[in-house]
């Protein structure tokens, strides 16, 4: 019964996004524009060269197409909780006979599915027919890519969840969200493939959750990882989801108590 309620919220969000056709069209055009800007930049940098340190233009193209596409799908609402704290509606939200966190996930899943169908797929088709994007290394790689991408979404969602929890203590978390976005965009391989990062930096990034969001799925897609490495990378994604969620949940529990104190 409760699962049906969450599914209803996801469906409602999906249909709600469908209602704003102009915004939907602008979103597609924005994604396509970003795609071609990245493509032209890297094509200019490569020139007539076949590869740079063994990284071909087609690999780079595949990286930013998939990373940009996944970032279009992965759209956690960073203001879901803060907005309700600011307007005071959080007090009634917590009285609903369902998990507030479950609703956060359900609505985000609905929006993500909308973005998958109406933004990612059109851009992917354009990329396939206009660039030298590589095919997946194999059927198994494609399946594991999808699995890893879902786990990458989990990592990004928990990071957003953790940042949102600070809204119980801070008046405005816009600056934290901005910092989070910068770290994700730069250190996840979305803007600059991690192949081009200094060796010392890639060594550090292995101990952060950022590379697990986009770059790990891309590596699996391209077949750059062995079977054992793929398992390890996916386990790392799962571990980060658990660790970040636990920290966020601790703040959630403490934040609710603080909210009650402020209210009474």
The residues spanned by each domain of the chain are 2-263
Query: What Rg value do the Cα atoms of the chain yield, rounded?
Result: 20
pLDDT of residue 262: 46
State pTM to two decimals: 0.88
pLDDT along the chain (264 residues), means of 10: 75 76 76 80 73 81 87 87 86 82 88 85 83 88 95 95 93 91 90 85 86 94 93 95 96 82 44
Give Cα 209 to chain centroid, integer Å: 12
pLDDT at position 56: 85
DSSP SS3 for 55: strand
Helix (H) or strand (E) holding 52: strand 51-52
pLDDT score for 1: 47
Q: Which pLDDT score is estimated for 239?
A: 96
Query: Given CA atoms 55, 57, 63, 68 in this order, what sign does their dihedral have?
Result: positive
How far is residue 34 from each of residues 40, 97, 135, 187, measured CA to CA in Å? 10, 42, 21, 18
- Looking at residue 260, its pLDDT comes to 52
């Amino acid at each position: 019964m409760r699962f049906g309620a969450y599914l209803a919220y996801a469906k409602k969000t999906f249909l709600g996004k469908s209602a704003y056709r102009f915004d939907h069209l602008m979103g597609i055009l924005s994604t396509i524009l970003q795609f071609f800007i990245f493509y032209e930049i890297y094509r200019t940098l490569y020139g007539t060269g076949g590869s740079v340190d063994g990284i071909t233009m087609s690999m780079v193209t595949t990286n930013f197409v998939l990373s940009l596409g996944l970032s279009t799908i992965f759209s956690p609402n960073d203001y879901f909780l803060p907005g309700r704290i600011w307007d005071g509606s959080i007090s009634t939200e917590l009285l609903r006979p369902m998990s507030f966190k479950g609703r956060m996930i359900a609505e985000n899943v609905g929006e993500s599915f909308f973005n998958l169908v109406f933004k990612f797929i059109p851009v992917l088709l354009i990329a396939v027919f206009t660039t030298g994007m590589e095919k997946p290394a194999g059927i198994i790689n494609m399946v594991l890519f999808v699995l890893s991408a879902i786990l990458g979404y989990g990592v990004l969602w928990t990071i957003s969840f953790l940042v949102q929890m600070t809204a119980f203590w801070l008046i405005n978390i816009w600056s934290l969200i901005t910092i989070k976005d910068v770290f994700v965009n730069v250190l996840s391989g979305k803007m600059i493939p991690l192949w081009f990062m200094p060796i010392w930096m890639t060594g550090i990034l292995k101990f952060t959750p950022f590379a697990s969001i986009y770059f790990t799925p891309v590596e699996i897609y391209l077949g750059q990882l062995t079977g054992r490495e793929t398992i390890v990378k996916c386990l790392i994604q799962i571990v980060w989801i658990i660790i970040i969620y636990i920290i966020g949940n601790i703040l959630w529990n403490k934040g609710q108590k603080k909210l009650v104190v402020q209210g009474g």
